[in-house]
Amino acid sequence: MSTGVEIRAADRSDIAAIAAMFAQDLLGGHGDSADPADLPAYLAAFDRISASPNDQLFVAVLDGEVVGTFQTTLVTSLTGKGSSNLTIEAVHTRGDMRGNGIGHAMITHAIEQGRQTGARLVQLMSNATRTDAHRFYTRLGFSQSHLGFKMKLR
């Protein structure tokens, strides 16, 4: 287990490292790229996330390097008597750093954020092929309760 992992809000200088982590992910299939020509698209997305009062992008930093990332979104709906749910999205630990407690630190941080915002629950989705991640989330106290559906628009 790594110690000294810092979880902090991401800033623009972190975006290239985050994109590089996503680009190395062969299971995700999102078409991410570490090509500097694609950086403006990532920066534009970062600007949209940063402008939203309900979204936050975080990084995990160890020894001055970005080694993980995740995003949270607070969604309020009329269900549950108008309660809010915190959704954790785009959880990723750099491949060479997995198994060192970084994912645990990130998810623990997100859960605490949910508590602080008064969320009714914390939820996340995981690619169906990521069985190791599913075991990890179960160990952290998550239960598989819903079946997800997606429709690609582009």
The pLDDT tens digits for 60-91 are 999 999 999 999 999 999 999 999 999 999 99
* Radius of gyration for the chain, computed over Cα atoms and rounded to the nearest angstrom: 16
What is the reported pLDDT for 119?
A: 96
Does residue 145 fall inside a structural domain? no
- Strand, helix or coil at 74? strand
**For residue 123, what is the domain's CATH number?**
3.40.630.30
| pLDDT, greater one: 128 or 59 | 59
Name the pTM for this structure.
0.89
| pLDDT-derived band at 131, boundaries 50, 70, 90 | confident
With 70 as the cut, is the pLDDT of residue 3 above it? Answer: no
Give the DSSP letter of residue 53.
T
Contacts of 144 (CB under 8 A, 6+ apart): 134, 138
Contacts of 16 (CB under 8 A, 6+ apart): 34, 36, 39, 42
Number of domains in the chain: 1
Does residue 105 fall inside a structural domain? yes
Does residue 28 fall inside a structural domain? no
What is d(CA 62, CA 35) in angstroms, rounded to the nearest whole number?
Answer: 24
Q: Are strands 121-124 and 55-62 parallel, antiparallel or unpaired?
A: unpaired
Residue 65 domain boundaries: 6-10+54-139
